[in-house]
Amino acid sequence: MIDLLGASTESTVRVFICFFLGLALGAACASVLISKVRHPWRLVAGVEFGVAFFCIPIAALPFWTKWVWPALGPEGLVSCLGPLVKTGLSLLLLLPPAFLMGMTLPVIVAAVCVTGAGLQREAVRLYALNTLGGVIGLTVVTGFGIQHLGVPGSMVLLIGVNVLVAIQCYRRSLLEPRRQVEVPASRGGGAAVGESQPFRLAVALAVFSGAGVMAVEVLALHLVNLSLPTSFYPPATVLFCVILLLAVAAWLVPGAIQRLGPAQSLLPPSLAAAGFAVTLMPLILLSFGTARTADLAYSTTFMGFLGKTAGIALISLGPAVVFCGFTFPLAVCLCSGAGMAAGRKLGLLLAVNGIGGVAGAELARLVLVPLLGVHVAIGVVGASYALAAIAAGVWVKRKRLLAYAVPLVGLVATLVLTLRWLTALPLFYWGNAYTVLEVRSGYEGVLTVFEREGFGRGLSFNNQYLLGGSGSADDEQRQSHIPLLLHPSPDRVCYAGLGTGITASGSLKHAAVKSITAVELSGMVVDAAAKHFGDFNGHIDQEANVVIYVEDARTYIAACRDRFDVIVGDLFTPWRPGEAGLASLEYFRASKAALRSGGVFCQWFPMHQLTEYEFGIIQSTFRTVFAHAYAFRNHLKTGNIPMALVGFKDSMLDWETVKWRCTVEREAGRLTDPLRRHVEGVAMLYFGELDGFPPTGPLNTLANLRVELDAGLNLVVGKPGTLYSYASDGNPYADFVKSRRSAWPADRSVPDDYRRFLEVGFLVSRLEVAYDVNHPATAKLEAELRAQFPASVLSDAGADWSLWAGNRATLDCLRPSTPAKTGQR
C-alpha cells in the first residue's frame, strides 16, 4: 500500500487507521451476529475464505494500479483531491479483509468457550495465541517472505494460509452440532451485554488499553529510531519483541488471577506498574553506552545484531509492554460468560479496543511528539497509566486507603521521573562539538539544524544521517549543473528531494531554466530549508518560478506525463526504509514517462554506501529502462563519492550540445563553477557509458526491495558499504576510477577530441591520492597535470576558483595565487 500511496508518514497512518478501523468494525459486527449463528466454525471458514479473496487485489496492486496517478495527474495529486483518492483506495482495499479479520477471534471464542468462566480462561488464552500468531506472521514475512518471495509473493503465501485454515474450519463445522440461537437477557435481568457495571468498566479499560498500548508502541519506535540504525531490520525486530511480550502478558493473566486474586484487585497495581515502567523506557535505553552515539546494536554478524537488538528491546521496553499488556486481558476477565455470550462480549471489547488504539496512536503521533518530544511524551503516557490506576480503584469501589498506596506512589514516581529526568534528556545525540540551532520533533522523527566549525551548517534526521550541509554546498549544486548542461533547452526541471535546497538552487544559476519543481517527503525539511539555509540555497523557496510540494517524489513523478525536460534525483540513503525505491524499476519507468522528448533523467547515488552487488543491481535496473547509462561524478576528490547515472528519453549524449550549453551559460554570467563553464571541464567529470553490465542481472523493484534489504543488512552487521574491496593503494574510489579508465579507449560515447580530458580528471584524482600518502611521484604528477590541464578553463577570467571541484592542494598546483575560499575543504 505504501508503494501505491507513497512513503510519507500520512500514507502510513492512513493505512494503519483503515486497517484498525476494519478490525474494530469486524469485531463489532461479530458481537451482533454471533447470537444468530448456528454453526460458528462454518462462519469462521467463510470469513477466512473472504479474507483470502479480498487480499487478492492487494497482492496484485503492482499489476492493476499503474493507471491511478497518471489519470489523476500531478495537479490533482497535490490538491485536496489527492488525499481523498488515497483515503478512498485505502478504504476500498483494506477495509474488507480487515473487517473479516476482526470477526475471526470473537466467533472462534463463541465456538470453544463452553463454561461460565470461558472469558477468564479460554477467551484470554485464545487472545494470547492470536497475538502470538502475529509474532509468527511477522517472522515469516520479514525473515523469509519478503527476502525470497518479494511483497506480492509473501501476500500469495499468506492467502494460501487463509485458504487452508478456511478448509480446516469447514471440515470442523461438519462435526459440530447445530447451536441453538441464543436470546440475550432482558433489561430487567440486568445481565444483557453492556448493562452490568463490570462490563462497563471492561469497555472503558478496553478503550484505554488500546490507546495506551498503541501510544507506547508509537513512542517506543520513535525512541529506538534515535539510537538504532535506521533500516528495515531494527523496527521489525523491535515490533517482534513488542508483539511477543503482549502475547506473553495475555497468557499470564489467567494464572495471575488464579493465584493473586480477581481482576478487580489486580487492575490498580498493574496499571500503576505499567505507568512507572513506561516512564523508565528512555532512561533504560540511554543507559546503554552507545545509545547516545547512534551506534547501538551494531554487530559483526546478522544474528549478533538481531540478538543485540532484541536484548535491548526486551530490557528497555519489555517491562512496560508486559504491564501494559495486562490491561486488556484483565478487562476481558471482568466479564463472565460462555458460548455465544463470550463471543459477543469479546467482539465488543475488541471493537472498542481497536478504536482506542487508533486514537492513542494518533494522539501520540500528532500531539504528544510534536509538542513535547518523545521523552516527555513517554512520561505523559506513563502518568496517564498511573491516573488510570487510581480511577480503576475508585470505579471498583475499593474502600481501604491502603489499596490506593501503589497507584499514588506510581503517579508520584512517574511525575518525578518526567519532570526531573525526562525533560533533561536531549533529542540530538551528537555531542558538544555541535552548536544546535533548532531541534524539531515531529511525527516523521527528530530533525536537527546544527553548525560545526570546519563543517558549516547541517541538517540531520534522527541522529542517523545528514540531509546535506553548507560545507559541501559547491558539490551539492554541481549535482544540478551536470544534467542541466546535457539538455539543449532545460526549461522545466524537477527535483526528487529538496533537503537543504542547496542542490536545487544550482538551477537558479542557469539562465535557460524557466520553471523549477521540487518534491520533498517531509514538511519539516521544507520548513528548515527555508528558515535556516536561505543564505546557502539562494532563498529558493521565494523564487517566483519555483514551486515546492510536500509529497513522495516517486508518486508525484508517476502522476506526470511528458512534463519535464530534466529530472534530478538527489542523493538518498539506500538502507533507509522506502528510499531505495528511487532506484527501482517502477521509478525509472515513471521518470522516463514524465520527461518530454529529448529529456534527461539524472539520479545521484552515494557510491560510498553501496556494495558492488547493489550497484550492479542498480545498473541492470537502470539499463532495463534507459538504453544507455552515462556516468558522471560531481567532483574530483577521493572522499565521499556521489556518482550520477544519466539516461535520455529518446536521444543520446551529445557533446556538441554540452559545448553549446556551456557557452550559453558562460556568456549569461551566472554560472561561475570553473569546470561547468567549459565542455572540457564537464568531460573531466565524465566516467563514460556503463555498458559492461548488461541489463540481464537481478532487478530492484518495489516488490522485492533488493537494494534496501541488502544495504540494510550491510549496515547493521558493521560492514561499511564501499563499491569494491580494493587493496592496491587503500583508496576504493581511486581504484574504481582506474577500472573506468580501462574502458575509455573503446567508449564510443566519448569523441576523440574530448577523450584526453577524461584522463585529466583521472590525473587530478591520482594527484590527490599522492598528496594524501606523500607519494614519491607527486612532483611528476604535478608537472603532468599542469601540462595537460585545458588552458581554456585555466585562463577563464569569469570563473570562481573557490568552486574548484578538487581539494585545495591540487588547486594550488594549478593556480598557486588563487585565494582560498572561507571554509574551503
| 176 band by pLDDT with thresholds 50, 70 and 90 | confident
Predicted local distance difference test score (pLDDT) of residue 471: 87
Q: Of 634, 641, 614, 600, give the one whose Cα is nearest residue 731.
A: 641
Residue pair 223/281 in contact (Cβ under 8 Å)? The answer is yes
List, for residues 123-140, the tens digit of each pLDDT value.
889 999 999 999 999 999
Residue 671, SS3?
coil
Q: In the sheet where 492-496 sits, what is the strand order?
A: 546-550, 515-520, 492-496, 564-569, 595-606, 642-648, 630-633, 686-689
| 734 band by pLDDT with thresholds 50, 70 and 90 | low
| 724 band by pLDDT with thresholds 50, 70 and 90 | very low
Bridge partners for 458 per DSSP: 450, 469
Residue 107 backbone zone (phi > 0: left; psi -120 to 50: alpha; other: beta): alpha
Predicted local distance difference test score (pLDDT) of residue 122: 83
CB within 8 Å of 341: residues ≥ 6 apart = 182, 193
Mean pLDDT along residues 107-120: 74
Tell whether the model's pLDDT for residue 387 goes beyond 80: yes
Q: Of 31, 152, 8, give the one whose Cα is nearest residue 86.
A: 8
Predicted local distance difference test score (pLDDT) of residue 115: 58
Residue pair 700/583 in contact (Cβ under 8 Å)? The answer is yes
Alpha carbon dihedral 152, 154, 157, 162, in 10-degree steps, equals -90
* Strand bridging mode 595-606 / 564-569: parallel
Give the lowest-confidence range in 260-264, 708-712, 734-738. Answer: 734-738
Predicted local distance difference test score (pLDDT) of residue 728: 34
Predicted local distance difference test score (pLDDT) of residue 119: 67
Average per-residue pLDDT for the chain = 88
Tell whether the model's pLDDT for residue 694 goes beyond 60: no
Residue pair 227/291 in contact (Cβ under 8 Å)? The answer is yes
Distance CA 134, CA 621 (A): 34
| 730 band by pLDDT with thresholds 50, 70 and 90 | very low
Give the lowest-confidence range in 148-157, 382-391, 814-823. Answer: 814-823
Specify the CATH architecture of the domain 2-177+203-424: Up-down Bundle (1.20)
Residue 94 grid coordinates: 483494506
List, for residues 744-754, the tens digit of each pLDDT value.
888 889 998 89
Tell whether the model's pLDDT for residue 823 goes beyond 50: no
Predicted local distance difference test score (pLDDT) of residue 186: 45
Tell whether the model's pLDDT for residue 697 goes beyond 90: no
Predicted local distance difference test score (pLDDT) of residue 10: 82
Q: Count the Cβ atoms, other than its own, within 10 Å of residue 114.
A: 10
Length of the chain counted residue by residue? 825
Residue pair 208/389 in contact (Cβ under 8 Å)? The answer is no
Burial code (b: 16+ CB inside 10 Å, e: under 16) for 235-272 equals bbbbbbbbbbbbbbbbbbbbebbeeeeebbebbbbbbb
Residue 518, SS3?
strand
What angle (nearest 5°) sits at the alpha carbon of residue 209, between those of residues 363 and 393?
115
List, for residues 394-423, the tens digit of each pLDDT value.
877 666 666 678 889 989 999 999 999 999
List, for residues 519-544, the tens digit of each pLDDT value.
999 999 999 999 999 999 999 999 99
List, for residues 562-615, the tens digit of each pLDDT value.
999 999 999 888 888 888 999 999 999 999 999 999 999 999 998 878 888 888
List, for residues 347-385, the tens digit of each pLDDT value.
999 999 999 999 999 999 999 999 999 999 999 999 999
**HSE-CB for 255 with a 13 A CA cutoff:** 7
Domain ranges for the chain, please list them: 2-177+203-424, 435-463, 553-814
Tell whether the model's pLDDT for residue 221 goes beyond 80: yes
Q: What percent of the chain has pLDDT over 70?
A: 91
Task: For 164-218, give the secondary structure using H, E and C.
Answer: HHHHHHHHHHCCCCCCCCCCCCCCCCCCCCCCCHHHHHHHHHHHHHHHHHHHHHH
DSSP character at residue 79:
S
Tell whether the model's pLDDT for residue 824 goes beyond 50: no
Predicted local distance difference test score (pLDDT) of residue 406: 84
Residue pair 105/127 in contact (Cβ under 8 Å)? The answer is yes
Cell 527555508 found at: 530
